[in-house]
Amino acid sequence: MTAHPLLEVRELSAGYGSTTVLRDVELRIDAGEVVVLLGPNGAGKTTLLRALTGSVRAHGDLRFAGASLARTTTDGRARLGIAHVPQGRGTFTDLTVEENLLVGGYTRRDREARADLDRWYDFFPRLGERRHQLAGSMSGGEQQMLAVARALMLRPRLLLLDEPSLGLAPVVTQALFRQLGRLSTETALTMLVVEQAAHLALGIASRAYTLTHGTISAPLSPQDLADQEELRRVYLGAAHAAGQAQTTTKGRTAWTSSSNGSSTA
Amino acid sequence: MDLFLQRLVDGLANGAIYAALALAIVLVFQTSGIVNFAQGEMGMLATYLVWALTDVGVPVLLAILAAMVVSFAGGAALERLLIRRIDPEDHLVTVLVMTGLFTLFGALALIFFGSDGRQVPSPFPEGSLALGSVRVPYATIGALLVLGAVCAGLAVLLRSTKLGLGLRAVAQNRASSALSGLPVGRLLGIGWGLAAALGALAGVLVTSLGLYLEPSMMLPVLVYAMAAATLGGLDSGVGAVVAGLLLGVAESLAVGYVKVLGTESALGVAAVVMLLTMALRPSGLFGTTKVARV
């Protein structure tokens, strides 16, 4: 065990060109946690993930396992173990499924990467069935699985997921989050998830932050979230509350039980 | 008929050179998203190196190998020091930088070597093979064999090696490649290096067909190679090779059968091909049409 949190962000500001999107963001993620980042569109959630991978201009103190990331490039951060599944998945559409995964494992020894292929084919059987198919010919859900598997091929210490549910049918999204939940419990993988389908994301979360107009909230425990009617209304969405009350309740039930699970563990 | 076949054969020799340079242009475009106007001039400078080395007694094959190695290093260094600083989306800047390089390399050759033609020893034997009444010069056979070897080598590199997978990944999606930890900068440098080495080979092939080495030697080659890259599709290596050979043959037939066309005005063939491609099929014969999926 290290004394440092896996990721520590202090006084981070970031933006594009002369536009500042994030101001004074403070964030902390401990190893093994699943942290969910909630917030309305345009609040800067994607920018925050990009600042963590070094793909946008950012100032502030970023520390990964205690070491500053200030001088580390995007590919260098990946080699340190920060994997990012970007919005829109970033699939190499003209490469086969297997080639996509091998690109994901590019920085690792060939033998290890090959061994991991089988592991993730096992975990996502669809990918195994389609290993020689061009990635671009797969459905959105399959491509999202591929994007996650590609990121996992890096053997990341921290997995950043940007709206994995975007463009997916609800049933596919649910299957995806089941898999992510399994990953968290079986491998203790640390994740930071940006998600609009908040009820699903909170189902696997140990903590959450909210981001509004580029400003981040204090960390919220599952209990905080459960207690805050207001927060639920804003971030779980009025539509969910009304139209999908069933799902929301189910999501919350799952998450409550998982938080019980972690407290008894 | 024999005359037609002879012109076909003559065209293939030039075509092999156009194909080699077009392949270099495609390689750079694929990895960096930049069309390198100076690719031919870089090859011309490399050919001067071959000349200088053979002039002091280095065997020609060794000199060519050395020029390719130096070109690889030079191409990679150019990418590192200059190209990486430009945003390929900024077309005006890109065009200005590339035009600047083109002019710079031409001027360097003039300053150091003057405009006199120099004879570079050919790596191929003199004479030709008689097939019926058609004469196939050994230099033509050599140029085609070199092109074939280059294609085979690139295919193996790109399809069956880890480095090749990295190059293809960077060519397709640079952002995702960086997020997967690929050394993007180094891979781009390797792409430029490979293209420069290929350009050096194209320059040597030009002189092996009997042309004198001089600073403006690669100009017509560049025009045809650009036309070939356009016709084949800027993102298709196969397209570049097929279109390069086609254009070589088209040039030879045009000069042979259209009496008003001299060797110089045959450049018009390349221009017409480029214009027609842009008008009728902008992605080229083998290129992929860009479809943006949201």
DSSP structure string for B206-264: HHHTTPPB-TTTTHHHHHHHHHHHHHH-TT-HHHHHHHHHHHHHHHHHHHHH-TT--TT
Predicted pLDDT at B89: 84
pLDDT category of residue A110 using cuts at 50, 70 and 90: confident
Contacts with B26 (C-beta within 8 Å, 6 or more apart), sequence order = B229, B232, B234, B235, B236, B237, B239, B240
**Residues B15-20, mean pLDDT to the nearest whole number:** 96
Residue scoring higher pLDDT (B149 or A169): B149
Predicted pLDDT at A231: 61
Contact criterion met (CB below 8 Å) for A144 and A91: no
Q: CA-CA distance, B155 to B141, in Å (whole number)?
A: 21
The answer to whether the Cβ–Cβ distance between B180 and A154 falls below 8 Å is yes
Predicted pLDDT at A230: 54
The CB density around residue A84, as the number of other CB atoms within 10 Å, is 30
Q: E-assigned strands of chain A?
A: 7-16, 19-29, 34-38, 57-64, 67-68, 82-85, 158-162, 190-194, 207-212, 215-216
- pLDDT of A255 above 60: no
Q: CA-CA distance, A28 to B268, in Å (whole number)?
A: 65
Element (H, E) at B134: strand B134-137
Contacts with B176 (C-beta within 8 Å, 6 or more apart), sequence order = A86, A90, A91, A92, A103, B169
Q: CA-CA distance, B267 to B219, in Å (whole number)?
A: 10
Element (H, E) at B137: strand B134-137
Q: Which of A52-56, A210-214, B253-257, B289-293 has the highest mean pLDDT?
A: A52-56
DSSP state at residue B118: B
B73 class by beta-carbon count within 10 Å (0-12 exposed, 13-18 middle, 19+ buried): middle
Q: Which chain B residues are closer than 8 Å to A93 by Cβ?
A: 172
Contacts with B87 (C-beta within 8 Å, 6 or more apart), sequence order = B93, B94
The answer to whether the Cβ–Cβ distance between B181 and A53 falls below 8 Å is no
Find, in chain B, the residue whose alpha carbon is nearest to that of A94.
B172
What part of B 157-196 touches A (C-beta under 8 Å)? Answer: 162, 165-166, 168-169, 172-173, 175-184
Residue scoring higher pLDDT (B25 or A228): B25
Predicted pLDDT at A245: 37
- pLDDT of A253 above 60: no
The answer to whether the Cβ–Cβ distance between B179 and A83 falls below 8 Å is yes
The answer to whether the Cβ–Cβ distance between A86 and B180 falls below 8 Å is no
Predicted pLDDT at B277: 87
Burial A86-101 (b: 16+ CB within 10 A, else e): bbebbbbbbbbbbbbb
The answer to whether the Cβ–Cβ distance between B168 and A95 falls below 8 Å is yes
Contact criterion met (CB below 8 Å) for B184 and B33: no
DSSP of A220-248: B-HHHHHH-HHHIIIII-HHHHHHTHHHH
Q: Which chain A residues are closer than 8 Å to B184 by Cβ?
A: 75
Contact criterion met (CB below 8 Å) for A11 and A24: yes
Here the tokens at position B68 are 């390719």
- pLDDT of A151 above 90: yes
The answer to whether the Cβ–Cβ distance between A104 and B184 falls below 8 Å is no
Predicted pLDDT at A251: 38
Angle among Cα B260, B265, B268 to the nearest 5 degrees reads 110
Look at A219-233, B106-120, B250-264 and tell me which has the smallest mean pLDDT: A219-233
The CB density around residue A125, as the number of other CB atoms within 10 Å, is 10
Find, in chain B, the residue whose alpha carbon is nearest to that of A166.
B294
- pLDDT of B14 above 80: yes
Q: CA-CA distance, A207 to A192, in Å (whole number)?
A: 10
Residue scoring higher pLDDT (A11 or A224): A11
Here the tokens at position A135 are 């990635």
- pLDDT of A244 above 50: no
pTM for the predicted model, two decimal places: 0.85
Looking at CA atoms only, how far is residue B183 from chain A in angstroms? 6
Q: Is A189 helix (H, G, I), strand (E, B) or coil?
A: coil
**Phi and psi at residue B173, in whole multiples of 5°?**
-155, 95
Q: Which chain A residues are closer than 8 Å to B175 by Cβ?
A: 55, 86, 90
